Amino acid sequence: MILMLQEFFEQAPLLFITLALLALATLVQLFYYWVIYGKIAFFKQKNEYVRSDQPVSVIVCARDEYYNLKENLPLLLSQDYSVFEVVVVNHGSEDETQYLLRDLAAEHPNLKIVSVPQDLNFFTGKKFPLSIGIKSASYDVLLFTDADCKPSGNQWLRRMAANFTEGTEIVIGYGAYSKAKSLLNLLIRFDTTRVAMNYLSFARAGMPYMGVGRNMAYRKSLFYKQNGFISHYHIQSGDDDLFINKAATKKNLRIEIQADAHTISTPKSSFDLWLRQKRRHLMTGGYYKATHKFALGLFAFTQALFWLAAAGLLVMWYQPYIVLGLVGLRLFSQLLVTGKAMNKLSEKGFLLLVPLFELFLMIISPFLAFANILNKPVKWR
């Protein structure tokens, strides 16, 4: 065996080294899929309703969201839960939002309206109005979502709140996007699933690093203990992921992925709008803890190395059966584990497109990151 490897190296040292790098990249990728992402793919969460008597404050920030609030706010106010309030922060809206909120408040005594004039936001982004909403909340357990999100059912609040057992300070859930018949919709839903596989799996592996503001919860006392968003107020985005990155530990966080605990948002309607959204999301990654950046970066690096090495070796037709075997092994693992995770997150319809979407995102992500360096994305609304 050693003599065979030596012979291969002497015949084509550069190609042999490339093959060795492909094998190493494949090994790392398999570790991520089976050991890390497998923690979601093969996760068995108890599907039982646990009654919780903890009062909850649901917090929504909105600016010019009249139509979204008209559709989604009644669903939040009609949750099957004993004691809760919905705090809506009306951040300088210039549409009919204030009149809608006034009418709904007359019907629902648990709707609390907090008005923040736009010119009082001394910092760009959502963090200032969100901080006002948090401080105005009556209860310690805070559940967050966006104005364009709807809960998947009237058990959403109960599902999320039930996770606040002793010692739990943070609960992160899944924020899905509604399904439509378009390639862009499939791409957005794949990207959302991919991101969720990362943050949910890493959380279960004891390394929580983010959550999404469309569906997450934490205690008000934790917000004050962390001094709110002060450490990253200067960063436009990150009211969700940067706060979780700083505050979460392997002991104080739980995940919730049951289908009736999801929220559902309307995805961007054009490729350009989605790219702008992606750019905003990419802004915060550089501020994560070093261990998280390394873990996420190692996957991205070996992913790129895998595809580049495989493509180069196949073009040169060097040891094609070994190369194709490694590619097949990695693709099999990717499709199997991703398919299982999609099932857990109630996603379907794009499994066979996963490798193509992966390559596409791998190619455009560096360009989006470079664009952020040249010109920062616009503020949240």
Residue 5: per-residue pLDDT: 53
Whether pLDDT at 82 is above 70: yes
Whether pLDDT at 327 is above 90: yes
The 3-state secondary structure of the chain reads: CHHHHHHHHHHCHHHHHHHHHHHHHHHHHHHHHHHHCHHHHCCCCCCCCCCCCCCEEEEEEECCCHHHHHHHHHHHHCCCCCCEEEEEEEECCCCCHHHHHHHHHHHCCCEEEEEECHHHCCCCCCHHHHHHHHHHCCCCEEEECCCCEEECCCCHHHHHHCCCCCCCCEEECCEEECCCCCHHHHHHHHHHHHHHHHHHHHHHCCCCCCCCCCCEEEEHHHHHHCCCCHHHCCCCCCCCHHHHHHHCCCCCEEECCCHHHCEEECCCCCHHHHHHHHHHHHCCHHHCCHHHHHHHHHHHHHHHHHHHHHHHHHHCCCCHHHHHHHHHHHHHHHHHHHHHHHHHCCCCCCHHHHHHHHHHHHHHHHHHHHHHHHCCCCCCC
Q: Please tell me the distance from the alpha carbon of residue 381 to that of residue 65, in angstroms, as a whole number.
A: 10
Q: How confident is the model at residue 77 (pLDDT cuts 50, 70, 90)?
A: very high
Whether pLDDT at 309 is above 90: yes
Q: How confident is the model at residue 205 (pLDDT cuts 50, 70, 90)?
A: very high
Residue 330: per-residue pLDDT: 98
Whether pLDDT at 2 is above 90: no
Residue 91: per-residue pLDDT: 92
Residue 282: per-residue pLDDT: 82
State the average pLDDT over residues 47-54: 69
Residue 119: per-residue pLDDT: 61
Q: Please tell me the distance from the alpha carbon of residue 324 to that of residue 77, in angstroms, as a whole number.
A: 54
Q: How confident is the model at residue 233 (pLDDT cuts 50, 70, 90)?
A: confident
Whether pLDDT at 87 is above 70: yes
Whether pLDDT at 78 is above 80: yes
Residue 243: per-residue pLDDT: 94
User: What average pLDDT does the structure give for the chain?
Assistant: 92
Whether pLDDT at 380 is above 70: no
State the average pLDDT over residues 198-202: 98
pLDDT tens by residue, 138-156: 999 999 999 999 999 999 9
Residue 73: per-residue pLDDT: 98
Q: How confident is the model at residue 97 (pLDDT cuts 50, 70, 90)?
A: very high
Q: How confident is the model at residue 368 (pLDDT cuts 50, 70, 90)?
A: confident
Taking a C-beta distance cutoff of 8 angstroms, is the pair 262, 346 a contact?
A: yes
Percent of residues, the chain, with pLDDT higher than 90: 78
Max avg pLDDT among 8-12, 189-193, 265-269? 189-193
Q: Where are the domains of the chain?
A: 2-41+291-374, 56-267
Fold of 56-267: Spore Coat Polysaccharide Biosynthesis Protein SpsA; Chain A (3.90.550)
Q: How confident is the model at residue 296 (pLDDT cuts 50, 70, 90)?
A: very high
